[in-house]
A and B are shown apart, each in its own frame.
Chain A
Amino acid sequence: MSDNKKWYSLDLGLNNKKESSGSCGCGKSEGSCSSTPKEQVEEELSPEEFYEAAINASIGEERHRDGFEQVFDVKMDRRSAFKKLTASLLIGAGAVTTSCSVTTGSDTKEKAQIDWEEQFKGNYKLMTDEEKQGTINRLMRSYELRTDKKINMTAENAAEDVLFGYAFNISKCQGYMNCVSACVEENNQDRNSEMQYIRIHEMKDGEGFKFDKADDNYYHEVPAEGHFYMGTQCFHCDNPPCVEVCPVQATWKEEDGLVVIDYDWCVGCRYCMAACPYDGRRFNWSKPEVPEPEVNKNQHYLGNRMRKKGVMEKCTFCVQRTRKGKNPACVEACPTGARIFGNLLDPDSTIRWVLENKKVFRLKEDLGTEPKFWYFMD
């Protein structure tokens, strides 16, 4: 990888180090982690040790925490500490009463057990594959216990040598909105608030992109005379501002370029929504409701699983589909072929042909967000 570098950047062993081994934070097998004399830092440490020491000095044990420790072993004000304790206590009390009770059924006990374990799970980003499997097993079982229906949830990780990209043909889109419908159905969006990840903007020919003058709620036959249509959704920026501002690291960029959200870790502060220059994020003001027969039961932890009230959500390029090799639902549903999806790293892919042979542009490129969503025309 480092052979391809276009300029000098200091290699502190960041890329060689996958997972820190051993229980000790600084990577040393013996001795204390915290007390590293300052002179040693400058003179005797290898670059790798130096890096470890530097991180330790700034965030210390924080990064090695998991599960329970992430929740409780942090500095917090009294209010949030009490809130967390109360929530956990309620669940704990529930678990204790149900598990000790002779009258409650085994299902209730199991449900209490699941709720207990879910309450104390860590951030998905930091989970091992076994822990990921553990949480999706619990969520599937929990759904079954609550509704008597089975769902299939996966925790597929990003595939190697894949970087997802999207291209949108503004001269093909006719505003039929098949993409929006398909997206809502695929991703189990709330039907009450009519949440939609994709917006189709109707714009006047010859005026360029004027979002303030565009009609996003058109209600007439399409395509309308003298208008063109363009869609926006999450652009999965390579340099995403939403990730930068998240105070709890509930949103991050995956290896294949998808910007995802851990719905269970999100605290609903909506900083990301404010930071997104593309109106790409949505907030659940109420508990999302999907009629049981319409629920898409093929789910991914980071994708279309059922959300709750007060969390953010957004387009994930249908992670539950694309990590299986399928196209996102919007691409499949588009009747005019205006939407193109593929692997940016594969020189034989159609998305690469579009980028190399058509005139492409991106929205607000000057912001440096590097969206992986290109527009082009015939």
Chain B
Amino acid sequence: MKNRTLIYFVVVLLGVSLFSCKGEEEYHSISDKIEGESKPYHGALTSEQLLADTELIEITEGEHTFLIPERKGQIKSFACIECHSKPVSQMMGKDAPKAHWDIKVNHANSDAMNCATCHNGEDMNQLNTLTGKNIDFNLSYKLCSQCHSSQFEDWKGGAHGKKVAGWAPPRASNTCVNCHNPHSPSFEKRWPVQFNTKTAIERNEGLGH
């Protein structure tokens, strides 16, 4: 009798153990796996080579430290004071050369914003906050974040915006003005770059075969 129970036990144990070694996976779900194997990446893959041609600045916002593209070098007519030698009010006369004729401000309404909301009329090389503090053109995201605070949070974490080059560290993220035109920030309606006419055909053909 005892022997029989023993044999029964051995058989059940063997059965269970055979089934339990079916897969090589040791985690129940992908989130368990992520949690279980998570560690800061210092592996062989890096974005350094991909970023080599881009001028970058390191910034720290909250707990996030990452790189952003340098901006001033990309602005064609910087420094601004090379032309803005006089206050704006004096330069706006009839005879003055029109430099920014193509800029139309399409950003909030005219009650909320005008040129002076962002540009410092006294010092054109700098931007200014709503309270009149100077902001460097390279750090223009600080200006945007005054109103767009939730987008700013997402951008710091990486949920808003795009990375420069690859996924591998170091992290380099585009700033607001790399994707949005600050004078007209919203994306335009346009035709898709391509469209697909064959999806339906492909599916039907797949069924027909």
Given contacts A222-B192, A283-B206, A335-B187, contact A2 B38 (CB under 8 A): no
**Known contacts A334-B162, A378-B154: A350-B171 contact under CB 8 Å:** yes
Q: Judging by beta carbons under 8 Å apart, are A326 and B165 in contact?
A: yes
Question: Is the CB–CB distance between B190 and A176 below 8 Å?
Answer: yes
Decide: A159 and B45 in contact? CB cutoff 8 A: yes
A361 CB within 8 Å of chain B? no
Q: In the complex, what residues of A have CB within 8 A of residue B198's CB?
A: 193-195
Determine the distance from Cα of A4 to Cα of B28 in the docked complex, in whole angstroms.
Answer: 12
- Closest Cβ of chain B: how far from A329's Cβ, in Å? 12
Contact residue among B26, B37, B167, B187 (Cβ-Cβ distance under 8 Å from A336): B187
Beta-carbon contact of B34 and A344 below 8 Å: yes
Q: Is the CB of B194 within 8 A of A180?
A: yes
One of B36, B160, B167, B174 near A326 (C-beta < 8 A): B167
Smallest Cβ-Cβ distance to B65: which chain A residue: A348
Closest B residue to A184 using CB positions = B194
How many whole Å from B3's CB to the nearest CB in chain A?
14
- Interface hit among B13-21, B106-114, B118-126, B128-136: B13-21
Asked if B81 is an interface residue, CB under 8 A from chain A, the answer is no
B189 at the interface (CB under 8 A from A): yes
Docked-complex contact A222 and B190, CB < 8 angstroms? yes
A219 contact set on B, CB distance < 8 A:
195
- Neighbour of A346 across the interface among B10, B38, B166, B194, CB < 8 A: B38
Q: Are B30 and A372 in contact (CB under 8 A)?
A: yes
Bound Cα distance from A348 to B157, whole angstroms: 9
In the bound complex, what is the Cα–Cα distance between A174 and B179 (angstroms)? Answer: 14
Known contacts A194-B197, A341-B167; is-contact A354 B38 (Cβ 8 Å)? no
A4-B36 CB under 8 A given contacts A175-B192, A283-B206, A337-B161: yes
- Tell whether, in the assembled complex, residue A221 and residue B43 are in contact, meaning their CB atoms are under 8 Å apart: no
Whether the pair B166, A42 counts as a contact (CB closer than 8 A) is no
**B39 contact from A12, A161, A285, A325, Cβ within 8 A:** A161
- Please pick, from B26, B37, B157, B192, the residue contacting A357 in the complex, using a CB distance under 8 A: B157
In the assembled complex, the Cα of A7 lies from the Cα of B197 at a distance in Å of 50
* B29 CB within 8 Å of chain A: yes
Q: Given A283-B206, A327-B163, is A42 in contact with B191 using a C-beta cutoff of 8 Å? A: no
Other A-B pairs beyond A2-B26, A346-B38, 18, CB < 8 Å: A7-B28, A9-B21, A159-B43, A159-B45, A163-B33, A195-B198, A221-B190, A283-B206, A331-B162, A337-B174, A341-B167, A342-B167, A343-B168, A344-B38, A347-B40, A350-B163, A353-B158, A378-B160
17 contacts between A and B (CB under 8 A): A9-B20, A161-B43, A163-B33, A177-B194, A199-B196, A221-B190, A282-B202, A326-B166, A326-B167, A327-B163, A343-B168, A344-B38, A349-B167, A350-B158, A352-B34, A358-B159, A378-B151
Chain B interface residues (CB < 8 Å from chain A)? 10, 14, 17-18, 20-21, 24, 26-30, 32-34, 36-41, 43-47, 50, 150-151, 154, 157-163, 165-169, 171, 173-174, 179, 187, 189-200, 202, 205-206, 209
Q: Give me the 8 closest cross-chain CB pairs, A-B, nearest first.
A: A350-B158, A325-B168, A353-B157, A346-B41, A177-B192, A4-B36, A325-B45, A194-B198
